[in-house]
Amino acid sequence: MPPSSPLHVVIVGGGFAGLNVAKGLGGVAGVEVTLIDRRNHHLFQPLLYQVATAGLSPAEIAAPIRGLLSRYDNVRVLQGEVTGVDLTTRQVTGSLGDIEYDRLVLAAGAMHSYFGNERWEVFAPGLKTVEQATEIRRRVLEAYEAAEHEDDPDVRRALLTFVVVGGGPTGVEIAGALGEMSRFTLARDFRNIDPALARIVLIEAGDRILASFDPRSSSRATRDLERLGVQVWTRSRVSVVDAEGVEVGAERLAARTVVWAAGVKASEIGEQMSGGAPVERDHQGRVYVGPSLQIPGHPGVFVLGDQAHVEGADGHALPGVAPVAMQQGRYVAQRIRGALKTGADDYPPFVYWDKGQMATIGRSRAVLEAGRVRLGGMFAWLGWLFVHIYYLSGFKNRLFVLLSWAWSYFSFARGARLIIQKRWRSYEDAPEDVHPSADTSP
């Protein structure tokens, strides 16, 4: 067989899906991989709420993509933004110029959706990036600081009211962590206010929180949240979000800190694909892909993770969780390797192995469901802890998160209580009269 030029696989996104494709193709002869991400780091998103609530430092749950893949000589990592895909000429476009591919893997993830009220974002940040997490941390910690020297009781009450919109796992985890922080961590640190009197309200539009869980798990989680002082409002729809708080129906809730955990939409790259057969998307912007995770009519173009609409065994779309993305990443790598070896594209379709779901509530409670097993309380929390530490990428992070948690657990403290200012001066903030070559000061 004559030597042929290597197969160029371009991966967009270094999340769970993209990273697993790259790892699966690392070191495979005849394959060249280019992974492109806007950020230099892979983020362990399931623990991002711990950064927002000052339990962990950003670096403890993030690792440079470049470092995670440095052992594979055939994998190249580029930091840049992909803005479009030309499916006819087979290239991606963006800040790095045009890059041609033989196989394309789109795994650019999702961001928060405000259901048409995007201007709410400034008042109620979501939780998808490190910057958003440190911004939420800043707002929460500054609210307590401001309350400490506030004389007006109404303003103080608004400062000490924290609203979390959305009762899915992320919302439940943030609310639980906020409850625990006010009850235990901050309790001794203030003189004029009692942090334990902070009001935390979790607002959910549906009948119950954790709707994807068994109703008994929802009840259990609600009780655990209430034990931490969190008020759970179900069947409540937020109609206004502004600098003063939120409105739920006719009721106004004065709150200086609002966190959004209510909805997601897929990355916009799915909208910027041109050429050939039309690309169909669902109402969340996710691209419909077939059982091989390729776009119908576009063989060799895969869409994975939060960006993809893949039907599960029950006919519903697979949820946007880490296990789905990881399994899809490994599958695509295997499929590409298989086709390379046999020369035929007859690899079996993707099947999601559902290992269950879980959500943690504060320092020692969780709900966990796996097959027929349903757990709550301390045992579920230990299970949650084990799974999350096991999956944290990179040895150092795993060890450090374990130590951080162990320390927080036994001391009731939170290690990462830093308020970092919103902005620092940069090139763009330079005064108008500063010009590269005009400066001739002595």
Q: Judging by DSSP bridges, how do beta strands 161-165 and 199-203 pair with one another?
A: parallel
List Cβ neighbours of 54 (8 Å cut-off, separation of 6 or more): 137, 140, 141, 181, 185, 414, 415, 416, 417, 418
For a copy of itself, the closer CB: 5 or 421: 421
Return the closest-CA partner of residue 259 out of 194, 322, 200: 200
- # residues contacting a copy of itself (CB under 8 A): 82
CA distance linking residue 317 with residue 159, whole number of Å: 39
What is the closest distance, in whole angstroms, from the C-beta atom of residue 201 to a copy of itself in the complex?
Answer: 19
**Three-class secondary structure of residue 252 per DSSP:** strand
* Residue in 142, 157, 339, 364 binding a copy of itself, rule: CB under 8 A: 142
The residue annotated as part of the active site, out of 60, 173, 204, 369, is 173
Assess whether 173 carries a catalytic annotation.
yes
What is the closest distance, in whole angstroms, from the C-beta atom of residue 186 to a copy of itself in the complex?
Answer: 8
* 93 lies in the binding site for a copy of itself (CB under 8 A): no
| Contacts to a copy of itself from residues 241-280, by CB under 8 A | 241-244
| Contacts to a copy of itself from residues 2-61, by CB under 8 A | 39-41, 57-60
* 170 lies in the binding site for a copy of itself (CB under 8 A): no
* 125 lies in the binding site for a copy of itself (CB under 8 A): yes
Q: Rounded to the nearest 5°, which phi and psi values hold at 251?
A: -95, 135
DSSP 293-348: SEETTEEEEEE-GGGEE-B-TTSSBPPS-HHHHHHHHHHHHHHHHHHHHHSS--PP
* 413 lies in the binding site for a copy of itself (CB under 8 A): yes
DSSP state of 279: P
* 88 lies in the binding site for a copy of itself (CB under 8 A): no
* 176 lies in the binding site for a copy of itself (CB under 8 A): no
| Contacts to a copy of itself from residues 319-378, by CB under 8 A | none
Look up tokens 């068994």; give the residue.
214
**Three-class secondary structure of residue 197 per DSSP:** helix
* 207 lies in the binding site for a copy of itself (CB under 8 A): no
* Residue in 87, 92, 130, 178 binding a copy of itself, rule: CB under 8 A: 130
- Burial of 330: CB neighbours in 10 Å, binned 0-12, 13-18, 19+: middle
* 148 lies in the binding site for a copy of itself (CB under 8 A): yes
| Contacts to a copy of itself from residues 185-204, by CB under 8 A | 188-192
For a copy of itself, the closer CB: 94 or 300: 94
Look up tokens 């690309």; give the residue.
279
* 432 lies in the binding site for a copy of itself (CB under 8 A): no
* Residue in 141, 177, 287, 375 binding a copy of itself, rule: CB under 8 A: 141
* Residue in 26, 67, 263, 276 binding a copy of itself, rule: CB under 8 A: 67
Residues known to be catalytic = 173
